[in-house]
Structure 1
Amino acid sequence: MKEQFWLFTPWVSFHQEENTMLNKYVLALLVFSAIGCATGSAIAQNSPDDHRQTSTSQSSAAIISSVTQSSPGRYRIIGSVVDRNNTLACGLALASGRCVFSCGPGSPRCEGGSDNLSFGGFDLSDLPTEKDGTIIVQTFVQGNMPGLQVINPGGGSGQARWTAYTSTCCSSSSTIYSVTVDGVTKTSVSTRCDDSTPTTQESFAITSAGLKNFTASTSSACSETSVSGTVEFSANSCYRFNRVIENGGPVTHLESVSCPSSTNTHTLRQADSITLITVLPESQTGNSSSSTAQEQPKIQP
């Protein structure tokens, strides 16, 4: 939705009697934000089919951790505000008429109330989409140009989605498998091999298409391994980093999977929805109490 200047008026009025120095900072940032909103809305209005990140090297940006559907046509976006140096920042995150400051616990929301996220974090919920199905996320950090990103909750229009999953288990402990792409980390946890608890898979993350640097690490009583490198994501596609046992040892498979209807979809088990793209060998990174031979494929219930 296109943000209007009056969006900020109630919040400023409500806080008029609070600390004067804080008010001056907040008011200056909100005025700057309003100017940025007008610019961002003009871009979106003039180019409704141009799904891109307009942030430059001098702009703030949003690192999107997850986009989930909260109700039909409404979404929740969780992420972090970073400055032009890609450092977590105190600023403002704005989308679909809702906004929140990213300055740590107690940060105010523009619609009233406060948030208790850690420094740099934001959580915006009940967000409607633009007419073309996208959501415009804008960020404002003092000393930086405004940032603007256009995301598609369905993962289409030039974007890719990915998640992580471990198909392995350890005989004596849980296995924690984490993958990081573009500053976003997804983690999958499997219990001991004799435990029938299903392995966890987090919701899909959204990122731009193209070459991506990634790091993956695994920790369990059986082994500690890691792998890093570069992979390529295609537009309008979905991917899964899947840790498996191959030739007696663990490797990471990058798989192309059928895109779910929502980023909130979890474990994919259908064989016909998975295509292996590449095998990424893992390296031992630490001491373990047992040998990797005790790692096995996890049998899911």
Structure 2
Amino acid sequence: MNNFFCDIITRLFYLFRKINIMLKKIIIFFVLIINTLLAADKVNLYFNKNSIKNAQTTVLYLNGKDIKEPKLTITDKKININFNKLPLKNNSYYALIPTSYYDINKKIKIIVSYIKEKNKDFKSIYLNVKEGDYKSEVINVKSSKVKLNNKAKERTQKEYKEAMNIYNTFSTKKLWNKKFILPLHTPITSDFGTKRVYNNSLKGYHSGTDFKANIGTKIVAANDGVVVLAKNRFYAGNSIIIDHGQGVYTCYYHLNKFLVKPNQKVKRGQIIALSGKTGRVTGPHLHFSARVNSVQVDPLQLIKTLNKL
């Protein structure tokens, strides 16, 4: 009889033990499901690089299910930017974040807003910007190109205002589908960011990358876009600006001859001009520069960033 009860007790013990193990597995299963659902419902915000050099561009990614109208504000610049849908990915968005040459060793606060479940939510994130190791160079040009008379000052101010009106016009449509290319493949004669000393007077920094180019060298478009400017200017000489959409612009200066017109659509690799030595120059070359959401940035670093999207 005692053996009978012992056997029952033993069987019950193992039965309860199995039930307990099954209950634990069921609980773990439901916890995993709940965590998965919560993760899917969560909104994530992150940079492709959260620490960059001044005048470089980074990408801010936003992942979230059922979010609408995602936007951001770069607080210190008061720049408002719309997010763009990431190709081939659901519920994923990106925005290009430019930093100025004068953003040195600082944290830039970015506020992101979006609508979810009829409520407007906000998130903030910080971008670390450190000083780049830019060089310095001395350039000797005609004094008339450094010390401007009233007529020249009036012209440069008008040209600057015209250019900024272009750069401040953000189109949401992405006009390119392939990777960006360089406008020509020759040695670089002056890097972006180099401090420029004209006739022993510091006049800022080099706003683009200079490529060696004899007069008449063919210059191609870095990518698909629309020509928004093709004219002669005081500093840049014969200049072309191409709008690639989503706030991205590439610029081609000191040209000899235009092969495109304003409002003309151009294709990646299309010949748009012949190089020259017009404007404030010491010799023939191509000055290639870029803007993102109106901010002047390193064009070669921008191309690398865009080509990784």
TM-score (structure 2 length as normaliser): 0.24
* Structure whose residues are more often helix by fraction: 2
Name the larger-Rg structure: 2
TM-score (structure 1 length as normaliser): 0.24
